[in-house]
Amino acid sequence: MSVDFRCGYIALVGRPNVGKSTLLNRILGQKISITSRRPQTTRHQVLGIKTHAHAQLIYVDTPGIHGFSGRAMNRYMNRTASTVLQDVDVVVFLVEAMRWLPDDDLVLNKLADVGCPVILAVNKIDQLKDRDALLPDLQKLAARYPFDEIVPISASKGRNLAALEACIERRLPLAPASFPEDQVTDRSERFLVAELVREKLFRKLTRELPYGLTVEIESFRHEGRITHIHALIWVERQSQKNIVIGKQGAVLKEVGQQARRDIEAMIGSKVNLKLWVKVKEGWADDERSLRSLGYTLDKP
């Protein structure tokens, strides 16, 4: 390890569905955070760790900061994202090119008391039809806040990410690595498996239903070359349970098959995945239920 080695925590913040998890997965070269087209897919704080010869960059993926706070789940996600801002060395604020929304203002307001460098990453530049409009948009963004740097990127295509990482790295403190060089996340296999199942549910189900469900791993054991996993899918109403199961179990079967393939690729063994759906009324609006299902505030 070099004498000028740098190590630090980087918060990825922004409104829902702006590309934070996609960016983290692309930087790491593997899936750590689940993604879907649904806003608020990310519910937990997840560390993604990238180590090379001169630095260890510890990214903190956070739930999207949003205005709706009517349910305990929404308040939990906003608290999780806001708490991270006070405990990192660099903040990367993701916005969407040419598309500033009210929730972006909410994030911007939370940056007022941040005592570390803030880098603005302007995402989805690959989707712009008029590239000439980007420069005026960047100038408008620069006037909103004294960002330390503004970097246009495409997280999905991997464009300009090396430049973003260089901007981050030179602002990290000189410090030894906090994690072993081969570690890529702080989360357990059980957590990642639950998230993969939830991802498949989010991608499969109707617009409203995903926010009323969560996944809990009931058992996880290795037997020889096979890993046996039993997962509970919690929903809030019986009608939701019927939708998740589907006609003759078709939805649950498809979700299970898709999740099993990803889990096998992640853990490197054959998987026997069993899914059950249970009802816990109002779990997403009950603080005690949230804690019992693993929704607790963790600091980096």
Say if residues 11 and 299 touch (Cβ distance below 8 Å): no
Quick: pLDDT tens for 246-289: 999 999 999 999 999 999 998 889 999 999 999 988 777 767 76
Element (H, E) at 218: strand 214-223
**Angstrom distance (rounded) from CA 108 to CA 83:** 15
Instruction: State the pLDDT at residue 213.
Output: 84
Backbone angles phi, psi at 280, to 5 degrees: -130, 100
DSSP string, 277-297: EEE-TTGGG-HHHHHHTT---
Q: What is the pLDDT of residue 52?
A: 93
At 138 the pLDDT is 94
**Which residue ranges make up each domain of the chain?**
6-169, 189-292
pLDDT averaged over every residue in the chain: 86
pLDDT of residue 65: 67
Measured distance CA(199)–CA(258) in Å, rounded: 10
Contact 81, 91 (CB under 8 A): no
Q: What is the mean pLDDT of residues 149-164?
A: 96
**What was the pLDDT predicted at 218?**
93
Look at residue 44 in the predicted model and tell me its pLDDT: 62
Under a CB-based contact definition with an 8 Å cutoff, are residues 21 and 184 in contact?
no
The stretch 128-141 carries a mean pLDDT of 90
The strand order across the sheet containing 90-96 reads 46-52, 55-61, 6-13, 90-96, 118-123, 149-152
| pLDDT (tens digit per residue) in 16-28 | 889 988 999 999 9
Is residue 85 pLDDT above 50, yes or no?
yes
pLDDT reported for residue 300: 46
One-letter identity of residue 7: C
Residue listed under structure tokens 């890529």: 184
Does CATH place domain 6-169 in 3.40.50.300? yes
Q: Tens of pLDDT along 35-81?
A: 766 655 555 678 899 999 999 999 988 776 655 555 666 666 666 66
Report pLDDT for 113. Answer: 82
CA distance 66 to 101: 10
Give the gyration radius of the chain's Cα atoms.
20
What is the per-residue pLDDT for 159? Answer: 94
pTM above 0.85, yes or no: no
Our CA angle for 43, 45, 50, nearest 5°, is 130
First to last CA, the chain: 23
Q: What confidence score (pLDDT) does residue 42 get?
A: 56
CATH class of 189-292: alpha beta
Is residue 164 predicted with pLDDT exceeding 70? yes
